[in-house]
């Protein structure tokens, strides 16, 4: 097992390097170097830039030097935590991400918990009571959930909330709480606002999970080992939970790690519609305005989180499924 984890870690190294190369290519992709476009951008707004600043920027990122030197300078400063400077926000990239990460994380985590807490039991119910009224109802709801884009739900949610309460639930805090120091009052304000985005972000995931759980369990229930367990005198409840459910839930466990990047990224469109201070709108902005350090940093972080998440999933799967352990 340890050897397995070690081997997976070693495999991650070349993949990480590959991701960084792709990230670097993205930075290099726009015509001209980024300092020139930065200056052009500033000058367009009527700012005057001191030549010293320009020179220091050029020196720092090795512009004018061979491409591999530029790559190396960028990678080494990235590792040291210097993610570069955002031209549109005029702030270090690290600061922007640090501001937005907590709310991204809170919303995504909350919606994930909702997805599992709602999706798994309903999936089990749908499978064990196949073709019952409940199963049909959840199937309809499930398909609607999968088919409805979350941003549309966000719009509908906003409208309904406004109709019923007269509130406009945009953002995570009420306007008067926006700049208040974090305390009980602000926390309660957050609780009052966060449920809507969490629910909306989680809808498609919940619907998908219901379908997955139902299908997996329906595959397992008629298997012979279940009949054999029944023929041994195992109780009906244990017959469901100990055997088929344990196997049916494996694909769910094996994809948990993949959600790691999702936790950070969240839903771009829902965040835009609801005006949420998450990372997703920043990523969109940076791509639209060619703010390459910001965009690449976020993409790099997402890429590395994907790798770590996949590793986590594989380890989890090896823990729950001896067949995987046997094969590694």
Partner 1 sequence: MTGIQRGGTAMDDLAPPAAGMNGALLSVRNLQTHFFSREGVVKAVDGVSFDIKPGEILGIAGESGCGKSVTSQSILRILPKNGKIVGGEILFQNEDRTVDLATEDADGRVLRDIRGKEIAMIFQEPMTAFSPVHSIGDQIIETIRIHQEVSKEEAHDQAVEMLRRVGMPNPARNIDEYTFNLSGGMRQRAMVALSLSCRPKLLIADEPTTAVDVTIQAQMLELLRDIQADLGMAIIMITHDLGVIAELTDRVMIMYLGKEVEHGTVEDVFHRPQHPYTRGLLASIPKMEPGRVEIEPIEGVVPNPYAMPTGCKFHTRCPDFIAGVCEKHDPPLTQVAKGHEVSCFLYGGRERLE
**39, 63, 146, 229: which one contacts partner 1 (CB under 8 A)?**
229
- Interacting span for partner 1 (CB under 8 A) from 66-74, 112-120, 210-218, 240-248: 240-248
Structure tokens at 304: 């590395």
Provide, rounded to whole angstroms, the least separation between the CB of residue 213 and partner 1.
Answer: 17
**Does the footprint of partner 1 cover residue 34 (CB under 8 A)?**
no
Provide, rounded to whole angstroms, the least separation between the CB of residue 9 and partner 1.
Answer: 26
**59, 129, 140, 246: which one contacts partner 1 (CB under 8 A)?**
246
**Does the footprint of partner 1 cover residue 225 (CB under 8 A)?**
yes
Residues 282-321 that bind partner 1 (CB under 8 A): 320-321
- Interacting span for partner 1 (CB under 8 A) from 22-30, 54-62, 241-249, 262-270: 241-249
How is the chain split among helix, strand and coil, in percent rounded to 5?
A: 75, 0, 20
Residue with smaller CB distance to partner 1, 220 or 291: 220
**158, 243, 279, 293: which one contacts partner 1 (CB under 8 A)?**
243
Residues that bind partner 1 (rule: CB under 8 A) add up to a total of 24
Strand stretches in the chain, DSSP E? 85-86, 91-92
- Interacting span for partner 1 (CB under 8 A) from 44-52, 228-236, 253-261, 279-287: 228-236
Give φ, ψ of 203 to 5 degrees. Answer: -60, -55
For 247, what's the count of Cα atoms within 13 Å in the CB-facing half-sphere?
17
Count of C-beta atoms within a 10 Å radius of residue 99: 14
Provide, rounded to whole angstroms, the least separation between the CB of residue 220 and partner 1.
Answer: 10
Residue with smaller CB distance to partner 1, 66 or 233: 233
For 74, what's the count of Cα atoms within 13 Å in the CB-facing half-sphere?
27
**Does the footprint of partner 1 cover residue 222 (CB under 8 A)?**
yes
What whole-number distance in Å separates Cα of residue 262 and Cα of residue 283?
Answer: 13
Nearest to 63 by CA among 37, 88, 34: 34
Instruction: Give yes or no for a contact between 1 and 325, defined as CB atoms under 8 angstroms apart.
Output: yes
**Does the footprint of partner 1 cover residue 234 (CB under 8 A)?**
yes
Instruction: Give yes or no for a contact between 321 and 257, defined as CB atoms under 8 angstroms apart.
Output: no
**31, 51, 175, 236: which one contacts partner 1 (CB under 8 A)?**
236
| CA-angle at 156, arms to 167 and 271, nearest 5° | 80
* Segment 175-178 long-range contacts (CB within 8 Å, at least 24 positions apart): none
**Does the footprint of partner 1 cover residue 132 (CB under 8 A)?**
no
**Interacting residues with partner 1 (CB under 8 A):** 222-225, 227-236, 242-243, 246-247, 250, 320-323, 326
């Amino acid at each position: 097992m340890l050897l397995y984890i070690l081997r997976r870690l070693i495999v991650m190294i070349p993949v990480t390097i590959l991701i960084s190369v792709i990230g670097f290519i993205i930075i290099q992709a726009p015509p001209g170097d980024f300092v020139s476009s930065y200056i052009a951008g500033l000058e367009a707004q009527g700012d005057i830039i001191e030549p010293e600043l320009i020179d220091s920027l050029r020196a720092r990122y090795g512009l004018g030097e061979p491409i591999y030197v530029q790559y190396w300078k960028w990678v080494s400063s990235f590792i040291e935590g210097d993610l570069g400077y955002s031209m549109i926000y005029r702030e270090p990239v690290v600061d922007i991400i640090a501001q937005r990460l907590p709310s991204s994380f809170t919303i995504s985590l909350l919606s994930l918990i909702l997805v599992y807490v709602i999706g798994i039991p309903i999936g089990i119910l749908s499978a064990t009571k196949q073709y019952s009224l409940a199963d049909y109802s959840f199937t309809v709801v499930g398909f609607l959930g999968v088919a409805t884009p979350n941003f549309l739900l966000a719009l509908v949610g906003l409208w309904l909330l406004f109709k019923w309460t007269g509130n406009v639930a945009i953002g995570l805090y009420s306007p008067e709480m926006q700049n208040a120091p974090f305390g009980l009052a602000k926390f309660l304000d957050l609780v009052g606002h966060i449920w809507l985005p969490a629910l909306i972000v989680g809808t498609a995931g919940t619907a998908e999970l219901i379908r997955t759980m139902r299908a997996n369990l329906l595959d397992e229930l008629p298997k012979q080992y279940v009949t054999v367990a029944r023929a041994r005198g195992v109780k009906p409840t244990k017959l469901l939970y100990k055997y088929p459910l344990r196997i049916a839930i494996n694909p769910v466990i094996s994809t948990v790690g993949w959600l790691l990047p999702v936790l950070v990224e969240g839903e771009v469109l829902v965040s835009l519609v609801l005006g949420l201070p998450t990372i997703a709108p920043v990523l969109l902005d940076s791509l639209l305005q060619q703010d390459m350090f910001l965009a690449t940093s976020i993409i790099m972080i997402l890429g590395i989180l994907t790798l770590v998440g996949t590793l986590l999933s594989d380890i989890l799967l090896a823990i729950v499924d001896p067949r995987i352990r046997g094969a590694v």
